[in-house]
């Protein structure tokens, strides 16, 4: 990941429409997944600059890890204390340590995604859940993916296969950021055409306050739609999966 990406995210993640809408979708998923647990232990893999950790603290005790020292330092500025500098493919925690793992836009950064999913499976308690967000559709690949250090984008079938191969039972899987899909596709297609004349940059330019609020409301409308079913396409994918009681670490050769 381009180190300057952390600076961009730190500047906008509290109020940018994408992060606001994403947290609202995450909140609905967690309200349903954690309603029976009292102060669960939560691991946020790829915690970035810390805003998601702060959001998750309303649900339980949160530990954040990131491979970037710069990201960890941003988290410390926000008074996050349970932090670890580590790779998502090699988690420095004992087996069955957490009730919930969140990996929001993480898998696409891992050269070996299977190893990352196996590590999540290992550190989850029996019955624990993982919430994954990933970018969707390789035809949306753009300089934003290169700037962000992505290795791939996913279809729903590909993500389900990877998650089930790691030993999880999929509880819910859906595309999201659907209502804005035509706009994102058009903008990225134009940027790809013009790419050789433009520097590689982030997609997280901050729109005007009025437009940012409008986009956040539009994106947040999907919260109710996802609660009722699964959206057929979108810029991103979400998956909630459960580690069942069979206490077995999936073999990489399977």
Per-residue pLDDT, 251: 45
Q: In this structure, is residue 187 part of a structural domain?
A: yes
Provide the edge-to-edge strand list for the sheet that holds 124-135: 83-85, 61-66, 41-45, 98-104, 124-135, 236-242, 169-176
- Mean pLDDT per 10-residue segment, the chain (254 residues): 81 88 92 78 95 93 96 92 94 97 96 96 96 96 86 97 97 95 85 58 64 88 92 96 70 41
Q: In this structure, is residue 171 part of a structural domain?
A: yes
Q: In this structure, is residue 168 part of a structural domain?
A: yes
Domain range for 179: 3-242
Q: In this structure, is residue 253 part of a structural domain?
A: no
Per-residue pLDDT, 200: 47
Per-residue pLDDT, 6: 85
> CATH number of the domain that 7 lies in?
3.40.50.150
Predicted structure pTM score: 0.88
Q: In this structure, is residue 247 part of a structural domain?
A: no
Phi and psi dihedrals of 94, rounded to 5?
-70, 160
Q: In this structure, is residue 248 part of a structural domain?
A: no
Per-residue pLDDT, 31: 87
Q: In this structure, is residue 95 part of a structural domain?
A: yes
Q: In this structure, is residue 250 part of a structural domain?
A: no
Q: How many domains does the chain have?
A: 1
Cα separation, 226 vs 231, in Å, equals 7
């Amino acid at each position: 990941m381009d180190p300057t990406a952390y600076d961009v995210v730190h500047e906008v993640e509290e109020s940018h429409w994408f992060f606001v809408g994403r947290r609202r979708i995450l909140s609905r998923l967690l309200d349903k997944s954690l309603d029976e647990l009292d102060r669960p232990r939560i691991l946020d893999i790829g915690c970035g600059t810390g805003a998601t950790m702060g959001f998750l603290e309303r649900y339980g005790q949160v530990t954040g890890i990131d491979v970037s020292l710069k990201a960890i330092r941003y988290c410390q500025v926000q008074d996050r204390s349970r932090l670890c500098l580590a790779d998502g493919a090699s988690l420095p925690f004992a087996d069955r340590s957490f009730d919930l793992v969140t990996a929001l836009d993480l898998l696409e950064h891992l050269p070996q995604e299977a190893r990352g999913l196996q590590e999540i499976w290992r550190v989850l308690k029996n019955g624990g859940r993982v919430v994954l967000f990933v970018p969707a559709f390789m035809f949306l690949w753009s300089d934003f993916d290169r700037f962000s250090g992505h290795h791939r984008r996913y279809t729903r079938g590909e993500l389900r296969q990877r998650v089930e191969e790691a030993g999880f039972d999929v509880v819910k899987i859906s595309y999201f950021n659907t209502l804005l899909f035509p706009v994102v596709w058009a903008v990225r297609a134009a940027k790809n055409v013009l790419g050789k004349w433009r520097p590689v940059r982030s997609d997280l330019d901050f729109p005007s306050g009025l437009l940012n609020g409008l986009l956040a409301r539009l994106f947040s409308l999907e919260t109710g739609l996802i609660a009722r079913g699964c959206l057929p396409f979108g810029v991103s994918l979400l998956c909630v999966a459960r580690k069942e009681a069979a206490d077995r670490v999936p073999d990489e050769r399977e």
